[in-house]
Amino acid sequence: MHPHSLNSEFSQLLAPIHAFLHCETPDEWIAEAQKPEHLAALLVDHANCEMKAAMSAHSLVRRYCLPKEKRKLLPNLDFYKTLDALPEKGEVLGKQTLLDENRRVFDELAKNDLLLKMVRLIQEELHHFEQVLEIMAARGIEYSTLSASGYARGLLQHVRTHEPAAIVDRLIIGAYIEARSCERFARLAPYLDEELSRFYVSLLRSEARHYQDYLTLAADYSGKNIDERVAFFGAREAELIQAPDEELRFHSGVPVAG
């Protein structure tokens, strides 16, 4: 499928995301991002974004699911690649794949929604990261260093410093990053070659669920209405997306003619 227009299934999936975000991706970004000369940089940045998403989720697990004295025991990201897919209603992690020392660590973890959702997200983001690397390798695109856009930094500077406000803010930011990724995959897909178009459409379902997961967790951790805080970050996110930006990245603002 080369989705010059996304079918009704995806339109339904994207409707709540469009309602959640305070603005659409500007046409100027799409016009610039679809140019073949920018493809390599976008794919490198996309790979970086997938890895950063996995690392952010891993950080949340480390900070909020383990007591302080146990945090150093949490396995590194490579560990998640060895896990079986998480069963919908099974144990927290596919424990049959865990070595004894790792099993003990995960027995310590709170068996809560944050852990379940974040571990699943880590696995999916690492899988997406490897998929992007495979596409790049097949096209002879080197995975090189690339400066990050100021998008995430621009959101994180507003995180409050006390708990549970800090985790609530981080989870809301996670929701906006995932929602924007989803919206951009959908917007960009019709302008890419068939392989990339299919790939980006294939990411929509998991990215849409990730945004919902983050938002649900934010509400749970807060214990009170978070609409005002969600609206605050929605406004900041829209400002960043609509601001002039000299670098083209996956979450950058309006390209400035250079």
Is the pLDDT at 228 greater than 90, yes or no?
Answer: yes
- Mean pLDDT score of the chain, rounded to an integer? 83
User: 73 pLDDT exceeds 90?
Assistant: no
pLDDT at res. 91: 37
Residues 229 and 82: their CA atoms lie apart, in Å, by 37
Spatial distance between the Cα atoms of 233 and 90, rounded to a whole number of angstroms: 34
The CA distance from 237 to 32, in Å, is 20
> Sorting pLDDT into bands at 50, 70 and 90, what band is 208?
confident
Confidence of residue 71 (pLDDT cuts 50, 70, 90): low
Q: Express each pLDDT in 15-53 by its tens digit.
A: 999 999 999 999 999 999 999 999 999 999 999 999 999
**HSE (side-chain half, CA atoms, 13 Å) at 123:** 15
- Preceding amide of 164 cis, omega within 30: yes
| Tokens 């909020």, located at residue | 64
> Over 70: is that where the pLDDT of 75 sits?
no
Task: Look at residue 2 in the predicted model and tell me its pLDDT.
Answer: 41
Give pTM, 2 decimals: 0.84
